[in-house]
Amino acid sequence: MLPLTPRIAPITRSVLDEGELLEQLVEGFGSPVNVVLPQSAGANVARFLDVYRRRRLRGRIHFAHKANRSSALLRQLSTTDAGVDVSSLEELQHALSSGFPPDRILATGPKDRAFLWLAAQTGVTVAVDSLAEISDIPGRNAKIMIRLSGFVSHGVQMVSRRSRFGIRVGDLDTALDLIDGRAELVGLAYHLDTVAVAEKAVAFEGALAALDKCRARGLRPWTLDIGGGYGVNYLADGAQWERYTSALAQAVLGNRPPMTWNGHGYGLRAENGTLRGSLTVYPAHRGAAGADYLDQLLDTPAPGQRRPLGDLLLDHMYDLDVEPGRALLDQCGLVLTRVVEVRRQDGDLLVRVDANARDVSTEEHGVLMDPVLLGKDEGEGDNDGEGEERGAYLLGNLCLESDLITRRQVRLPRTPRTGDLLVFVNTAGYFMDFVATTAVRRPVTPMVALYRRDGRWRWCLDENYWPEGAP
Amino acid sequence: MRFDDITEAIGNTPLVRIDPAVHGLRNIDLYAKMELLNPFGSVKDRAAWSMVRPMLAGAAERGDTVVELSSGNTAKALALIAGMHGLPFRSVTNRMKVPEIKDLLLLLGAEIDELPGQSECLDPTDTDDPLTRMYRRLTESGGGFVHTDQYFNELNVEAHLNGTGPEIVKDLDGNAPDYFIACVGTAGSSTGVARALRQHDPDTRVIGLVSAKNDFIPGIRTIDEVHEVGLFDPGVYDTVEPVSADEAIDGLLTLVRRCGMLAGPTGGGAYQGAVRFLRTVDASLTERRSAVFIICDRVESYLSYLRERRPALFGQPARPHSVGSLSPAEVAAAPVVAVEAAEAYARDALVIDLRSPYAYQALHIDGSINIVDEAFGEMLAAGLPFSRRQPVLLVCPVGEKSASYAALLQKMGHPAVHSLAGGVIAWRDADLPLVRD
């Protein structure tokens, strides 16, 4: 049984130590319960700011709101230097009502007319995604950025996945013609969905060239927005990750017993004894994640000019805007679930929790890590002599074959008992509500904010959380 | 030796004994198979020629492109062979991590397609491996192609079964070595040589070397990646052991500094892995044994790889006039001009903008000249590039680099040099004019 131990920061640890409080929350609200830790977010913002400070960079760190719908997190972030990136009318309304002034809000993503109207009316900067959006912007004073895509590399051809977003670089002139006099161009933006630094470097340099084109037309955009995708390191131990992924490949090849439900390969498959496909799981242990990844990107030489991207940015006097989502929510939340059934089937330990794979959507995002089983380790009921640690499959509460919290056999410190709490840590970024549903008439999971005041943990409903003190 | 065609020079490489004083093994003769002496520079010349040769007939007439999933030596050999036959060559790769090799391939006329990295927001349906992606790109491009398919092509193995292996036996006076140690990349050379040696002597022991997971040695696959190779058959190897990049570089240094062999990291890894393994059996031996490893390619293409991992190997003594030689106090005491006074000061001074050329060309202070900081540093190493009577104002983005250079110029005896405090960004923020020529 190969473990994947989650990385647990001291603040998360101190929440897990409050077993009685967590028990009361699940008893009161029913399983599952989403818990957010708003006071954790500031430290993540500070790490990004530190990279800016060391590099003498200016610009805004926008929290990508879509990562979590919580009001507590948003209100807390509004007390920091961070801005917010909103991608719907409702998120924009939420940001405005959570204390963000318009000059710290950036509207991104696909937009309808109502969204564009409220953004323009309040003076929020709009990152336009298509030529049609430019024409749809009301009034003449909106501040806009153009999101570009389809950057071209020279020499070595860097192939990127096709993106549904953004205006093609080749259409920049058309976009600028459309803008002419209708809005103020404050910058250019791109976002690439990749973890490859070299791929981002091509887009970065391409966007700098596009900004220069704007300058040649007499425009004065001062901001380069490079989007999100800085990542989170979810696991405590890189060696565990390497052992696990090696073993998974061997299991797919049939050289060791299956480690997943029905031998699921997470994208890998065996053909004539050779491993094919590719492992489609999130790189859960990463050398550089979050602010460190940004630092690494800025150190990368531009493929054409062969000077570090961060230096080029300063040379050109541009501000840098970024939109981290999960990286700003590292260690900012957990999901509490109740064990409702424990049974053995064909030699496997099956543990059913009162939650489904959409409530704790780590599997959908390919993040593999073990949950934390609360309660005492001694005096367990099921003493079957298999040693201390147990491998278990976690079943969800939907009447659906595929509803497993994860198809990976997880490692538990002991056999759980009905009634135990099983906690999924570090879930604030994308794993709480992004895909949650009300299928089989299950209610939407309640969300509570846990915060420290006067030396102890307190809680309230997420919507009732307001940060302490005046800004 | 007179040839009509350079491909005739492929193969028949020497087998050279390593001086026992270097490896320290008492009972084992260790030989290096000098594959780096192939005409295109590596062991892959054999496989590339063996695989592409049968497909060349009519390829030029059809307008085919030679394609391969390669990040190094196979691509290099195929690029040269394709060029000789008037065919374009395209390499598709997601693992080309050595910049010199990219540049060399471009010089040889190859096209390189680099595949995208993993997506940050996971798409679980995107399970294509690089080979599948390559086929799709080829289909999209419409033209015909010659795909050598090195990870699955038996001709890759046969090149060594009929060439490299028998050559080793011949050079050992008709005997197979007791031990054969090889790094595993496509598995072609290790599998082919192992088969040839075992046909001669079934007791030959074969040790495969792979790189440790999360490590990177060009040309060697990791313990996981070998399973993606169609030619890889675990049964070929008596043992498969990991070798680290650190060991590979140690081995490379021994070969280049003590043996006169210009081996690259793969050869270095093979040497170091061989000696490490052989030491474990050497002490218990009572009679002489022989062992062979392969030096796959040459060191020159890996300078940046080595510089990144062992910067000390390239250590240069500190130069007399460099910003690195300044103390923080000297930099802090650099003469500066505040942005309010700068416009007047700039009128009578030589204004040097240290930013990149593109940034300068886009917007700069009127009348300034552009010398990018790295070039300026090089110039100062040789002395003052302007008169002491000439007042100078140095400009960089935020006034940090310019302060260092101002301090350096002052130390070199220039009496009238200043740095623009806050740099060109402060100048812009003060709404002072910037021009674009």
Sign of CA dihedral B245, B246, B248, B252: positive
CB contact under 8 A, A156 and B213: no
**What is the token pair recorded at B371?**
């010398």
Say whether residue A307 is in contact with chain B using an 8 A CB cutoff.
Answer: yes
CB contact under 8 A, B362 and A212: yes
If you classify domain B6-43+154-313 with CATH, what class do you get? alpha beta
CB contact under 8 A, A272 and B230: yes
What distance in Å separates the CA atoms of residue A123 and residue A200, rounded to the nearest whole number? 30
Containing H/E element for B373? helix B373-381
Token match 């696959």: residue? B221
- Position A126 scores a pLDDT of 97
Q: Note if the bond before A32 is cis, omega within 30 degrees.
A: yes
pLDDT tens-digit map of B122-176 = 666 666 676 677 777 676 766 688 888 888 899 999 999 999 999 999 999 999 9
Distance, in angstroms, between B112 CA and closest chain A CA? 5
CB contact under 8 A, A315 and B214: no
**What is the token pair recorded at B399?**
């006034």
* Chain A residues within 8 A of B398 when measuring between CB atoms: 56, 314
Contact residues for B94 (Cβ-Cβ < 8 A; gap 6+): B114, B115, B116, B117, B130
Nearest CA in chain B to A242: B213
pLDDT tens-digit map of A317-355 = 999 999 999 999 999 999 999 999 999 999 899 999 999
**Helix, strand, coil percentages for chain B (3-state, nearest 5):** 45, 15, 40
**What is the token pair recorded at B293?**
């490893």
CATH architecture for the domain at B325-429: 3-Layer(aba) Sandwich (3.40)
- Residues β-bridged to residue A158: B114
- Position A386 scores a pLDDT of 47
pLDDT tens-digit map of B217-237 = 988 988 888 888 888 888 899
What distance in Å separates the CA atoms of residue A439 and residue A193, rounded to the nearest whole number? 30
pLDDT tens-digit map of A243-267 = 999 899 999 999 999 999 999 999 9
The string of DSSP codes covering A368-419 is ----EE-S-SSS-S---SS-S-EEEEEE-SSSSTT-EEEEEEEEESS---TT
Pick the residue with more confidence: B123 or B214?
B214
- Position A49 scores a pLDDT of 97
* pLDDT at residue B398 tops 80: yes
What distance in Å separates the CA atoms of residue B372 and residue B374, rounded to the nearest whole number? 6
pLDDT tens-digit map of A133-145 = 999 999 888 999 9
Name the residue ranges covered by the structural domains of chain A. Answer: 10-37+331-462, 39-231+285-328, 238-277
What distance in Å separates the CA atoms of residue B171 and residue A398, rounded to the nearest whole number? 70
Task: Kindly state the average pLDDT of the residues A76-81.
Answer: 96
CATH architecture for the domain at B45-117+127-147: 3-Layer(aba) Sandwich (3.40)
- Position B100 scores a pLDDT of 87
Q: Which residues of A329-367 are buried (b: 16+ CB within 10 A; e: fewer)?
A: bbbbbbbbbbbbebeeeeeebbbbbbbbbbbbbbbbbbb
CB contact under 8 A, A365 and B122: yes
Q: Which one-letter amino acid corresponds to residue A327? A: A
* Chain B residues within 8 A of A156 when measuring between CB atoms: 96, 102, 106, 112, 114
Angle between helix B245-258 and helix B265-282 axes, rounded to 10 deg: 90
What distance in Å separates the CA atoms of residue B373 and residue B398, rounded to the nearest whole number? 13
Distance, in angstroms, between B31 CA and closest chain A CA? 32
What distance in Å separates the CA atoms of residue B38 and residue B297, rounded to the nearest whole number? 9
Same fold yes or no, B6-43+154-313 and B45-117+127-147: yes
- Residues β-bridged to residue A85: A64, A106
* Chain A residues within 8 A of B400 when measuring between CB atoms: 56
Nearest CA in chain B to A232: B120
- Residues β-bridged to residue A167: A148
- Position A191 scores a pLDDT of 92
Which CATH number applies to A39-231+285-328?
Answer: 3.20.20.10
* Chain A residues within 8 A of B424 when measuring between CB atoms: 317
- Position A248 scores a pLDDT of 93
* pLDDT at residue A471 tops 70: no
* Chain B residues within 8 A of A318 when measuring between CB atoms: none
Nearest CA in chain A to B107: A155
CB contact under 8 A, A274 and B227: yes
Q: Which residues of A217-234 are buried (b: 16+ CB within 10 A; e: fewer)?
A: eeeebbbbbbbbbbbbbb
Q: Mutating which of B65, B71, B127 best tests the A interface, going by the most A Cβ atoms within 10 A?
A: B127
CB contact under 8 A, A316 and B362: yes
Pick the residue with more confidence: B315 or A202?
A202
Q: Which of B96, B356, B117, B144 is nearest to A155 (CA)?
A: B96
| Cα angle A278, A281, A282; round to 5 | 130
- Position A276 scores a pLDDT of 86
* Chain A residues within 8 A of B215 when measuring between CB atoms: none
* Chain A residues within 8 A of B214 when measuring between CB atoms: 238, 242
What distance in Å separates the CA atoms of residue B262 and residue B41, rounded to the nearest whole number? 11
- What is the average pLDDT value for chain A, to the nearest integer? 92
CB contact under 8 A, B359 and A315: yes
**What is the token pair recorded at B283?**
């002490």
Is residue B422 within 8 Å of residue B411, measured between CB atoms? no
Burial environment of residue A177 by CB neighbours within 10 A (0 to 12, 13 to 18, 19 or more): exposed
CB contact under 8 A, A196 and B359: no
Nearest CA in chain B to A306: B356
- Position A100 scores a pLDDT of 98
What distance in Å separates the CA atoms of residue A245 and residue A248, rounded to the nearest whole number? 5
Containing H/E element for A198? helix A197-216
Report the 10 Å Cβ neighbour count for B187: 25
CB contact under 8 A, B127 and A56: no
Contact residues for B199 (Cβ-Cβ < 8 A; gap 6+): none
Say whether residue A399 is in contact with chain B using an 8 A CB cutoff.
Answer: no
Pairs of residues, one from chain A and one from chain B, whose beta carbons lie less than 8 Å apart:
141
What distance in Å separates the CA atoms of residue B89 and residue B64, rounded to the nearest whole number? 9
CB contact under 8 A, B227 and A364: no
* pLDDT at residue A69 tops 90: yes
Sign of CA dihedral A196, A197, A198, A199: positive
- Position B222 scores a pLDDT of 86
A155: region left, alpha or beta (phi > 0 left; psi from -120 to 50 alpha) = left
The CATH topology of domain A10-37+331-462 is Lyase, Ornithine Decarboxylase; Chain A, domain 1 (2.40.37)
- What is the average pLDDT value for chain B, to the nearest integer? 91
Task: Kindly state the average pLDDT of the residues A267-271.
Answer: 89
Sign of CA dihedral B336, B339, B340, B342: positive
Of A156, A159, A229, the CB nearest to B120: A229
CB contact under 8 A, B122 and A156: no
β-pairing, A33-36 vs A333-345, is antiparallel
Containing H/E element for B65? strand B65-68
Token match 């293409």: residue? B301
Task: Kindly state the average pLDDT of the residues B28-33.
Answer: 98
CB contact under 8 A, A276 and B129: yes
Of A56, A305, A366, the CB nearest to B356: A305
Containing H/E element for B374? helix B373-381
Task: Kindly state the average pLDDT of the residues B304-329.
Answer: 83
* Chain A residues within 8 A of B113 when measuring between CB atoms: 157, 159
CB contact under 8 A, A277 and B128: yes
Distance, in angstroms, between A145 CA and closest chain B CA? 19
Is residue A471 within 8 Å of residue A457, measured between CB atoms? no
Say whether residue A309 is in contact with chain B using an 8 A CB cutoff.
Answer: no
Say whether residue A10 is in contact with chain B using an 8 A CB cutoff.
Answer: no
Task: Kindly state the average pLDDT of the residues B41-53.
Answer: 96
The residues in A 158-177 lying below 8 A from B, measured between CB atoms, are 158-161
Same fold yes or no, A10-37+331-462 and A39-231+285-328: no
- Position A377 scores a pLDDT of 57
CB contact under 8 A, A283 and B119: no
Say whether residue A246 is in contact with chain B using an 8 A CB cutoff.
Answer: yes
SS3 for B326?
A: coil
Distance, in angstroms, between A21 CA and closest chain B CA? 34
Token match 């193995």: residue? B157
Instruction: Count how many residues are written for chain B.
Output: 437
* pLDDT at residue A381 tops 60: no
Per-residue pLDDT band for B387 (boundaries 50, 70, 90) equals: very high
The residues in A 53-82 lying below 8 A from B, measured between CB atoms, are 56, 58
Distance, in angstroms, between A216 CA and closest chain B CA? 8
What distance in Å separates the CA atoms of residue B190 and residue A39, rounded to the nearest whole number? 57
pLDDT tens-digit map of B66-101 = 999 887 899 999 999 999 999 999 998 876 678 888
Report the 10 Å Cβ neighbour count for A382: 13
